[in-house]
Amino acid sequence: MTRLSQRDRGMLLAVAVTAALAYGATLTYDFVWDDIVLIRDRLRLYTVANLPRLLLSDFFSDGARGESSFFRPLIALSFFLDVKLWGLTPAGFHLTNVLAHVLVSLGVLRLAARVTGSEVGALSAGLLFAIHPAHSESVAFISGRTDVFATLFVLIAVLAHANAGQTAPRGWRATSLVAYVLAILSKEVAVVLPVLLVLYDVVIGGELTRCAGRRWRRAALRHAPYVLVLIAYAGLRRAVLAAAPESALPWADTMTRVLTTVKMAAWYAWIGLLPYPTILYYDVPLDHAPPGPVWWIAFLGLAVLVILTIWLLRRAPAAGFGAAWFWIALAPMLGGSVLAVPKPLMADRFLYLPTVGSTVLVGVIVARFVGVDLRQIRLRPRPAVGVAVVVVAYTVLTLWRNEDWHDPIRLTRRIVETSPEAPIPRLNLGLTQIVQGEIRAARANLEIAVRRAPDHPLVLVALGFTETFLGDREPGLRHAQRAYALAPDRPIVLNYLAEVYGRRGELDRAAAMLERSLRVDPEQVAPTMTLALVQHMLDRGEAALATADRGHALNERTRQDDLIVEKLTGEICRARCPARARVAWERYIGALRALPDASSPRIAGEITYAERQLAGLR
């Protein structure tokens, strides 16, 4: 390989610094959304002893059975390493995301340099990818790293494949194959790599015109190892996910799925180039036959883009390569929605790999109108100014969108703002408000959610809890029992139903629900401690202390909830073990005072209550 020139190093530095600055503020962000499930609540799995169980299981499971049909061991391994380095400090996890995004942006720069043959085009593509607003969900959201890692290794595989025609081809081909293995173990979307390699060979390498006879056979042999990797991956994935539950019914009939997916494809194309408006949660409206005017507009726009892609492949191969990359990389998401899956697949993070192609396409266009060499920019100032305006606008929009992922409360509120009629965002906001003690606001959101999803067990049981808490006990019990009938073995439903029974004074039933929940998932700290409290209230003193000890031991290992452990220990041990109760209340007060919002009325009230309990013991 030739050494990088000073200008090449300058371009690499410019793209790296831009990507880092665009997402530097995310180092102060918290765990949100799936981060809670995949990292914080699974801390007990991030041990060397549990590593095989963690890597060879469904991505969203606790290592026991399939739940999501996602197999992403490399991402699970990255979480494991982050936990070992940073504990549960979110900044470390965000740093991993930012560094990975910097590397991907540099990979786009190198790919664009090969495809466009232009310094200006390569720099434009790298900068545009680094600050693209559609990437906020992939980078600012820790669990979004699945797309970042997959894209990073896809780019390494493509660039190594392109270098295989130079010196030491075997080393480059081995690098490309290893990168493909890592990409496909990061996210399923990487299955498209063999197609992308064929696209590169045909459009950029000119294989279509040169490969005849033996050369066709050599090309087939060159791509065969990738197919073998894909076959081996499919076998491993099937073996690991063999215990996954059967899929739910498809989200719509076949014609509706096809029509809706066509409009989704058009929307993806729009967001890939003009990422506005901001939508954090897509509540996809279904398109039924015969489709309406909006669908026809989307279809015509999509048809124009597909025809343009075909035309570019023939007349302007570099631009056609970028456009075709976009559609190929998007194909798994669109194909998944057409298939009989439980829900349509739509999220901004799914654009991370496709926008490699669209930014390369923009790089080709910029090189055509601005110049090939960086020194030529001054000769064409107007197009250069236009590019600068787009870069600034994209940067501002990215910085604004990043803030949506700052913390769970901001995220849930913003999701409801952008998708006010969607039931799941209302549910998430309601659950957050319950934790914050905003029970009336939670009830209002859950009532909206239950109108849109009348058979969703978690929506029903959470609504039942808020109703019971606010004094509407009979409606609350009906909703909670309806949820139990729909999901009798779901721990969170059982835990909320136990709360409903407890607030009705039916402590035996509350204990039965908590015991059932802990049989399903024995490693829950809060339900274990709550069961200990219920046993204490039922005058089962020895059982309560034993259960509390089990909760303490579990929390020492998993660090799920120090606050609830100390508070409930203080309540349970007040009469039987005053010394232990004093220690628990002192730790509880100290932990409350250490909270960032310790001065808020809710936390201040808790501190006052705990101090009163401690004074009573003294």
Same domain, 559 and 514: no
On whether the CB atoms of residues 94 and 26 are closer than 8 A, the answer is yes
Q: State the chain's mean pLDDT as an integer.
A: 89
Token pair 């209550």: residue: 609
Q: Is residue 309 part of a domain?
A: no
Token pair belonging to 400 = 């604004």
Average pLDDT over residues 370-390: 66
DSSP-H helix ranges across 164-245:
169-184, 193-199, 207-210, 214-240
Residue 304, pLDDT > 90, answer yes
DSSP-H helix ranges across 243-340:
254-273, 293-315, 317-338
- The parent domain of residue 480 ranges over 421-519
- The pLDDT value given to residue 9: 86
Q: What is the CATH number of the domain that holds 494?
A: 1.25.40.10
Q: CA distances (Å), 287 to each of 4, 262, 281, 396, in order?
A: 52, 9, 18, 34
Residue 178: how many other CB atoms lie within 10 Å: 15
Give the chain's length. 618
- The pLDDT value given to residue 3: 60
Q: What is the CATH number of the domain that holds 605?
A: 1.25.40
**Residues in contact with 121: Cβ distance below 8 Å, sequence separation at least 6, in sequence order:** 112, 113, 363, 364, 366, 367, 372
Radius of gyration over alpha carbons of the chain, in Å? 27
Please tell me the least confidently modeled range out of 214-218, 439-443, 447-451, 510-514. Answer: 214-218
Q: CA distances (Å), 322 to each of 109, 201, 589, in order?
A: 13, 13, 58
Q: Is residue 427 part of a domain?
A: yes
Residue 246, pLDDT > 70, answer no
Domains of the chain: total? 3
Same domain, 604 and 482: no
CA dist., res. 525 & res. 551, Å (int): 6
Q: Is residue 548 part of a domain?
A: yes
- The pLDDT value given to residue 30: 94
Same domain, 158 and 42: yes
Same domain, 460 and 604: no
Same domain, 513 and 542: no
Nearest to 265 by CA among 321, 198, 199, 332: 332
The percent of residues in the chain predicted with pLDDT above 70, rounded, is 92
CA dist., res. 81 & res. 89, Å (int): 13
Residue 21, pLDDT > 80, answer yes
Residue 188, pLDDT > 50, answer yes
Residue 209, pLDDT > 60, answer no
Same domain, 147 and 202: yes
On whether the CB atoms of residues 249 and 278 are closer than 8 A, the answer is no
Chain CA centroid to CA 118, Å: 35
Token pair belonging to 114 = 């090969």
Same domain, 548 and 611: yes
Same domain, 534 and 486: no
Q: Is residue 396 part of a domain?
A: yes
Q: Is residue 301 part of a domain?
A: no
Query: Where does the pLDDT of residue 528 fall: very low under 50, low under 70, confident under 90, or very high at 90 and above?
Result: very high
pLDDT in tens, 72-93: 999 999 999 999 999 889 999 9
Three-state secondary structure call for residue 361: helix
Average pLDDT over residues 432-457: 92
Burial of 23 (0-12, 13-18, 19+ CB in 10 A): buried
On whether the CB atoms of residues 482 and 466 are closer than 8 A, the answer is no
Same domain, 452 and 533: no
- The pLDDT value given to residue 67: 59
Average pLDDT over residues 498-527: 94
CA dist., res. 64 & res. 241, Å (int): 10
The percent of residues in the chain predicted with pLDDT above 90, rounded, is 64
- The pLDDT value given to residue 20: 97
Same domain, 580 and 599: yes
- The pLDDT value given to residue 458: 95
Q: Is residue 208 part of a domain?
A: yes
CA dist., res. 226 & res. 180, Å (int): 8
pLDDT in tens, 22-64: 999 999 999 998 998 899 878 778 888 888 888 888 888 765 4
Residue 319, pLDDT > 90, answer yes
The percent helix, strand, coil of the chain (3-state, each to 5) is: 75, 0, 25
CA dist., res. 44 & res. 111, Å (int): 41
CA dist., res. 500 & res. 494, Å (int): 10
Same domain, 57 and 182: yes
- The pLDDT value given to residue 1: 45
CA dist., res. 526 & res. 511, Å (int): 13
On whether the CB atoms of residues 376 and 120 are closer than 8 A, the answer is yes
Structural domain ending residue among the three candidates 454, 487, 519: 519
pLDDT in tens, 344-374: 888 999 999 999 999 999 999 988 877 666 6
Structural domain ending residue among the three candidates 464, 488, 519: 519
Structural domain ending residue among the three candidates 473, 501, 519: 519
Per-position b or e across 471-483, b if 16+ CB within 10 A of its CB? eebeebbebbbbb
Q: Is residue 297 part of a domain?
A: no
Q: Is residue 250 part of a domain?
A: no
Residue 228, pLDDT > 50, answer yes
Same domain, 75 and 86: yes
Residue 65, pLDDT > 60, answer no
Query: Where does the pLDDT of residue 167 fall: very low under 50, low under 70, confident under 90, or very high at 90 and above?
Result: low
pTM for this prediction: 0.88
* Amino acid at position 413, single letter: R
